[in-house]
């Protein structure tokens, strides 16, 4: 459950006491030890007030507001999810502040752990998704563990058919290489993956004209492809018409 209560198979031969990040199940109390405090998963609250007082939250007994995207590994204050996966993902912007490149080491634990694009983030050149067929595209795909809550990972791309199905299908190939096929004894691979965005001018609000994708797996998987972003030409037309 979102707030930490668990169910488990009593006939299982293995059991883990790990709970939310930084929490360890205490069998004697039924609580979760969270370093500075004990957490009650049934109420979704700590049993003692925050040692830091009201600075982290107006409710000193509360866990993080949204446990799907935040955690509290020390029992003190909520922390944003690490969108770099402990340094396995690196983002770079160009000299004009635009998303430019992404490099990731993709492992099995990252699959399906990303988040949808946050509607409050407006990547350079983004006007309106429905009216202009635009997407807040992930440089590191959500299915590959990419965040949708950090602007470094989002760029403006034509939605249909470029972001989906075209780029999505390419990302699915990488996903499949990492996941493997256990039913047929095909082991998953660790994949080194890079995305590069190409721009044709120096304007900070420009969308990329082209997307380059490169991937190399630990057991033979390889991808090296690129494709045009139709929204680049569409942006030139919008600028002529004064739409920004």
Q: What is the pLDDT of residues 145-177, one digit of tens each?
A: 999 999 999 999 999 999 999 999 999 999 999
CATH for 89-240?
3.40.570.10
- pLDDT above 90 for 184: yes
pTM above 0.95, yes or no: no
Parse the chain into domains and list their residue ranges. 1-80, 89-240
Q: What is the pLDDT at residue 206?
A: 98
- pLDDT tens digits, one per residue of 27-86: 899 999 999 999 999 999 999 999 988 887 889 999 888 787 678 888 888 877 789 998
Q: Are 20 and 67 in contact (CB under 8 A)?
A: yes
What is the average per-residue pLDDT within 129-151? 97
């Amino acid at each position: 459950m979102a707030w930490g209560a668990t169910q488990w198979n009593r006939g299982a031969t293995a059991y883990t006491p790990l709970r939310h990040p930084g929490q360890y199940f205490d069998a004697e109390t039924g609580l979760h030890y969270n370093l500075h405090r004990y957490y009650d998963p049934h109420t979704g609250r700590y049993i003692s007030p925050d040692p830091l007082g009201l600075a982290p939250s107006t409710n000193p007994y509360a866990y993080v507001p949204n446990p799907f995207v935040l955690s509290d590994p020390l029992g003190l204050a909520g922390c944003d999810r690490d969108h770099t996966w402990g340094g396995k993902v690196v983002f770079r912007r160009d000299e004009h502040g635009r998303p430019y490149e992404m490099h990731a080491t993709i492992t099995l634990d990252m699959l399906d752990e990303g988040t949808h694009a946050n509607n409050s983030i407006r990547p350079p050149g983004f006007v309106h998704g429905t009216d202009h067929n635009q997407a807040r595209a992930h440089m590191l795909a959500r299915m590959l563990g990419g965040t949708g809550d950090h602007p470094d990972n989002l760029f403006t791309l034509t939605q249909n058919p470029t972001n989906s199905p075209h780029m999505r299908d390419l990302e699915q190939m990488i996903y499949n290489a990492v996941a493997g096929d256990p039913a047929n004894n095909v082991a998953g691979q660790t994949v080194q993956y890079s995305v590069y965005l190409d721009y044709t001018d120096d304007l900070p609000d420009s969308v990329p004209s082209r997307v380059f994708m490169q991937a190399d797996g630990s057991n033979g998987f390889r991808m090296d492809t690129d494709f045009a972003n139709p929204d680049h030409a569409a942006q030139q037309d919008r600028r002529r018409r004064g739409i920004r």
